[in-house]
Chains A and B, each alone.
Chain A
């Protein structure tokens, strides 16, 4: 993974203006994704070769790409897969990571050592290279990308969960349940993990921006979403050829959408994680 940014949290009681703005952007994007069939003026895959590479205008608000597909419609529909896929990826990573992290903290000993050795090996692959290896073996595609990235995000979440679970397991309530004769698996599943829930959720929110960026990058390289999908990363790749012809919109419109969502999510994410963490203490 690229070095995760730990932003200095802004500790004010009022919600900063930037967070409100970023939150509004995200709300609009989610609404647009949900209401894409109502809002989009054209079908996302409607080809109109007579309107190839048209600039902004009343017919096509954000112009068209080289096969005359309306960019606004494609970006609206593309918001769906571009937003849902990172959530799926983080869900995979969270299930695996929390299980491994809690297991390592609870059992200790060789289980802990094994988990941390596995983590070390995965950290030897910089950036997206671990994911790229899996894609090299199993072939390109959205499902492979989501699962592979989920696996790549697992060590980070496992490490974080392990450190939280270690201190949580020392709390008196755990001993109390144990005295009542409750088994380790039950204590972890019913009490320990739910108590860590807020902090883990906060961490996942912070990781969302990176998850979206990684998936978009894979789609851009041709490893993720496949045509005729209107996934944003793929749209940038398809629009790139038109740049030399002077038509910037086909690549810049989806590119801006990616950047805008990641920036907004990072702004909101850091603020939300800070609050989720604070109420936990």
Chain B
């Protein structure tokens, strides 16, 4: 690919990213107007304990007397400058709230990613090396089974057996220090990762099979390169493109999965913050968390999309 094509591709992707983010943030913002009743009352968290001063403050913060597009513009401007307003429930700045909750969530996602990459890719390699044997069927069947179990049921089952019955892991919380964090986050990360194993191992297995069918693998095998070397240096290396892409896409979606798992394990990250915000009618906080999660998801998927051709030079742009 020549440099100008790269620049054009980059520009198109970034434009698409910005357009998607603008549209999604507009949906998140304009949702206030879909709510039944006065948007100001809704934003302030309902009628109970509502003072006229508070109502006036909300009206000023959201500029509710201006046209919708102008309000949205102001909100977006404030958001980009990290002014997300105040939480009604915690009476903190929403940004501070997010900043204090985000590390736990990122640790959880990172740990879960590590688990599903190691286990999923490992299982996929195992299945492709032992193709059409009972190992292959066991991997496919087992991971499919895990994918059919909702993450909160997996969480409950893991807590019941490893937390309560065997007492190996703590039941709730996110722990202190590195070992404490790892100890506390193992079960949550595992329940988040289990559902991803099926898709990762299946992509790995298929990519390995495709790579193993190419001519240079035949040539290497014919010239007597040991099988272990062939798998490691020729098959796996050429299969990396689709594997890394799928791992990235799954990680992007995992940010939303933390909503369930953090609630199940009582971890105070942004996922449980979102659930609490909705249950306590704290809409500014819910809006901010949703925006953060959507932004993270869209940015990561775009990055994965941009990196894909670098990993796999044979991939040609579909619409050049």
B144 at the interface (CB under 8 A from A): yes
Give the complex CA separation of A240 and B20 in angstroms. Answer: 39
Complex contact A243–B253 (CB within 8 A)? no
Beta-carbon contacts under 8 Å, B100-131 to A: none
Q: Are A136 and B286 in contact (CB under 8 A)?
A: yes
Closest to B145 in A: A263
| CB neighbours of A109 from chain B (8 A) | none
Q: Which residue of A lies closest to B258 (CB)?
A: A127
Q: Which of B152, B165, B198, B259 contacts A127 (CB 8 A)?
A: B259
Interface residues of B, count at CB 8 A: 57
Which of A126, A135, A221, A259 contacts B294 (CB under 8 A)?
A: A126
In contact, A136 and B294 (Cβ under 8 angstroms): no
Asked if residues B275 and A222 are in contact (CB atoms below 8 Å), the reply is: yes
Interface residues of A in 205-250 (CB under 8 A from B): 209, 213, 216-217, 220-223, 233, 236, 240, 243-244, 246, 248
Whether the Cβ atoms of B152 and A2 lie closer than 8 Å is no
User: Would you call A248 and B164 a contact (CB within 8 A)?
Assistant: yes
Q: How far is the CA of A8 from the CA of B259 in the complex (A)?
A: 30
**Among the listed stretches B25-33, B84-92, B180-188, which one makes contact with chain A, having 4 or more residues with CB under 8 Å of it?**
B25-33
Residues A217 and B150 in contact, CB atoms below 8 Å apart = yes
Please report the C-alpha to C-alpha distance between residue A133 and residue B24 in the assembled complex, in whole angstroms. 11
Chain B interface, DSSP helix/strand/loop, else mixed = helix
Residues of A near B257 (CB, < 8 A) are 2, 127
A225 to chain B, nearest CB (A): 14
Q: Are A137 and B35 also in contact (CB < 8 A) when A132-B259, A217-B260 are?
A: yes
From A5, A133, A138, give the contact of B28 (CB < 8 A): A133
A118-132 CB mask vs B (1 if < 8 Å, else 0) is 001100111111001
A79 at the interface (CB under 8 A from B): no
- By the criterion CB–CB under 8 Å, are B150 and A216 in contact? yes
26 A–B contacts, CB within 8 A, in A order = A3-B199, A5-B198, A117-B23, A120-B23, A121-B27, A126-B256, A126-B294, A126-B297, A129-B256, A129-B294, A133-B28, A136-B278, A137-B32, A137-B35, A138-B35, A213-B148, A216-B152, A217-B151, A220-B264, A236-B152, A240-B156, A243-B164, A251-B156, A251-B160, A252-B156, A259-B150
Q: Could you list which residues of chain A lie within 8 angstroms of chain B, going by C-beta atoms?
A: 2-3, 5, 7-8, 117, 120-121, 124-129, 132-138, 140, 209, 213, 216-217, 220-223, 233, 236, 240, 243-244, 246, 248, 251-252, 255-256, 258-259, 262-263, 266
